[in-house]
Chain A
Amino acid sequence: MSKLWSSSIGKKLVMSLSGLFLLVFLLVHLVANLFFYGGPDAYNAMCEFMDTNPFIRIMVPVLAAGFIIHIAWATAITLKNQTARPVKYKVQDLSKSSAWESRNMYVLGIIVLGILAWHLSDFWAHMQLQHFIGGQAVASPYELLVQTFANPVISVLYIVWIIALWFHLRHGFWSAFQTIGLDNQIWIKRWKCAAKVYAFIVAAGFISIPVAVLLIKCFGK
């Protein structure tokens, strides 16, 4: 394993493995969010489970480490890659040769980091964090969710952020498998297709909740 982690492929392996871990987390989070459609009781019960389950409590610091590693390595790789072309082209047209999202993963990642920062300071700080520090968690997470998304500004910003995540996942999903070498001329098409499906399900699932809250607010139940 000598010099594996300092090699360009080794650094990408870290991105790939941390990315795959975060892909699984997003699915779990999405399933949890969809309890919203079960009504206040179902959603609050799910939150109670997530806040108190010992396995989830162990996984929270692991998840935080996953995010930090993914962001730190992305920054290091991006900075290193910038040095490979000291003199830039006057004219460069990459639109015909590569997908937009594949060229802007770091920028998309920064936008996704925005949702993370807001999310931690809002929902998470009022809910799961309180169980860690022995504080008083919000009585009804369902009410907090509805009140928060009833604000159209927050909802629109949330949707913009999730769209950034959507594009990030469209490339990130298949790229993770390519980096660890689980790819060939047949599977490359399958992974790319699976990436589009996964990214759409995640984005549509997350976006559906603020949309539903706003629709209920406008038109009633």
Chain B
Amino acid sequence: MNLKLKIWRQKDAHDKGRFEEYHVENVSEGSSFLEMLDILNNNLIHEGKEPIAFDHDCREGICGMCSLFIDGRAHGPDDDVTTCQLHMRKFKDGDTITIEPWRSKAFPVIKDLVVDRSAYDKILQAGGYVSVNTGGVPDANAIPIPKKNADESMDAAACIGCGACVATCKNGSAMLFVAARVSSLALLPQGKVEAARRAKAMVAKMDELGFGGCTNTGACEAECPKGISIAHIARLNREFLCAKLKD
């Protein structure tokens, strides 16, 4: 297939940036979106031009490194997949595809399509962990956990921190990310101990970093490559409000 691409180019964080048009030819329908960009970058290198910078790592849909806002949607037109798992068969020969970086005040563009997502790390550092004291390792089966809780916790823990929720939310809210982290830990006995402090610290950090507020549109859930439910946001609200009321 032959495609026309409109891609955001930006030299560095201070550059104003602009869209540039590219053409790629003979792209296999079986190749992934990132492989298509690899082909384009190979051509650009052969022409002596600067290749397009974009984030990628495992290319197996589990690391959360790839991003891209493709034709107006986070991770492109396919559901429940990351950009690396998006195949070119989802597009038609002759299509024009617009590719933009995640747009958020908290995720500044570093270069071209690469954004700085360290804001997520800062939120995690604020409370997205379980404190473990030194000593012998307890027997995993000694603490009974209801199957329902374990399942729900694992569903939330599926978050790969890619940032699609922030990118797609009309308010640039990080609530689904924070909710997934708070929920996955609060549901388990090991995480429950610090649940109140965690919810307060992570929400405070999220607000401080310039993310918007949640207005329950549900777009994050629809675009999340791991299909994490906004029901976890309700749990975060509950955890946060209960913790604050006890203060």
Contact = CB atoms under 8 A, between A and B. Distances in A.
A80 B100 contact: no
Interface in B151-206: 152, 168, 170-173, 203-204, 206
A74 to B, nearest CB: 10
A53 interface: no
A140 interface: no
A172 to B, nearest CB: 9
B233 to A, nearest CB: 7
Contacts of A91: 69, 71-72, 98, 100
B231 A183 contact: yes
Nearest to A183: B234
A88 to B, nearest CB: 7
Interface string A51-94: 00000000000000000000000000100110111111111111
A1 to B, nearest CB: 6
B223 A184 contact: no
Given A8-B203, A97-B219, A171-B216, A13 B229 contact: no
A15 to B, nearest CB: 9
A179 interface: yes
Contact of B213 (A8, A85, A180): A8
Interface in A93-128: 93-94, 96-99, 102-103, 105
A178 interface: yes
B62 interface: no
Contact of A180 (B206, B217, B219, B237): B237
Interface stretch (B32-40, B51-59, B102-110, B131-139): B102-110
A84 B73 contact: no
B241 interface: yes
B71 A93 contact: yes
A91 B19 CA distance: 12
A193 interface: no
Nearest to A15: B215
Interface string A177-221: 011111111001000000000000000000000000000000000
Interface residues of A, number: 45
B238 interface: yes
B120 interface: no
Size band of the interface chain B makes with A: 35 or more
A30 B91 CA distance: 50
A164 B220 CA distance: 25
A152 to B, nearest CB: 36
Nearest to A188: B231
B170 A94 contact: yes
B105 A89 contact: no
A79 to B, nearest CB: 11
A7 B237 CA distance: 11
B132 to A, nearest CB: 28
Which one of B223, B235, B244, B245 has the highest number of Cβ atoms from chain A below 10 Å of its Cβ?
B244
Nearest to A189: B231
A220 B66 CA distance: 67
Q: Which one of B207, B216, B223 has the greatest number of beta carbons of chain A within 10 Å?
A: B216
Given A7-B204, A81-B172, A181-B238, A188 B217 contact: no
A4 B212 contact: no
B234 A188 contact: yes
Interface string A1-29: 11110011111110000000000000000
10 contacts: A4-B247, A8-B203, A8-B206, A9-B203, A83-B210, A90-B100, A93-B73, A178-B230, A179-B216, A182-B234
Interface of B: 6, 19, 69, 71-73, 98, 100, 103-106, 152, 168, 170-173, 203-204, 206-207, 210-219, 222-223, 229-231, 233-242, 244-245, 247
